[in-house]
Each structure stands twice: as structure tokens, then as C-alpha cells.
Amino acid sequence: MDRVAQMVSEKPVVIFSRSSCCMCHTIKTLFSDFGVNPNVHELDEIPRGKDIEQALLRLGCNPSVPAVFIDGKLVGGTNEVMSLHLNRTLIPMLRNAGALWV
């Protein structure tokens, strides 16, 4: 858990992903289209990725990826991010975190 806390403090937006996950790709594309440059951790490509995935499950991420953190706080996965986007609250949240300047 300490490792996850350290990783999510690196940038305003952090995404834990798997390179083969289509929903992860969708979320990464959404943020990219907004002009956000998140720190993406591909759990299937980094050392101890399985340990990080287990820590994400303990934090309540189910499924464990994609797991999106904004301003150090867990936002959730695909459903939560898309709900925020459809409710028009995702962009203000990104601005408040310093991930968007427009």
C-alpha cells in the first residue's frame, strides 16, 4: 500500500493499467484526448506488478485495472470515470488537480 501511495503522488493523474486491457486503453485515450498527460503504470510490464494489483484490490478497485487516481485520491475504474465525464465533473476535477490548464 505504501508503494501505491508513493506512486499516486508522482503526478496529478495516475492510471494503473494492463497493456492488454481494452477498458484501460479507453480510459488512457479519454485522458489523452483531454490533453492530460497521466503517469501510466502498466502492471503487466513492471516489476512487482502483481503486488501492486493486489494492493489496488485491497483499496477497493474491483476489477483492479484500470484504477484512476486524481490528485492522489482514488477515483475508481472505467464506470466511475465515465460517470464523472457524463456528469461534467471530470474536467473540473482535472483542472483543480492541475492536470489541465484550459
CATH of the domain at 85: 3.40.30.10
Is residue 102's pLDDT more than 70? no
**Quick one: how far is CA 53 from the chain centroid?**
13
Quick check: 101 pLDDT over 90? Answer: no
Q: How many domains, in total, are found in the chain?
A: 1
pLDDT at position 92, please?
96
The pLDDT score that the predictor gives to residue 70 is 97
Chain segment 12-68, per-residue pLDDT in tens? 999 999 999 999 999 999 999 999 999 999 999 999 999 999 999 999 988 989 999
The reply to whether 49 falls in a domain is yes
Report in angstroms the alpha-carbon separations of 54 from 1, 24, 35, 60, 78.
9, 17, 30, 10, 18
Contacts with 85 (C-beta within 8 Å, 6 or more apart), sequence order? 30, 91
Q: Is residue 102 part of a domain?
A: no
Q: Is position 69 within any domain?
A: yes
- What sign for the dihedral angle of Cα 77, 53, 4, 101? negative
Note the pLDDT of residue 54. Answer: 94
Q: Which domain holds residue 9?
A: 3-97
- Model's pTM, two decimal places? 0.94
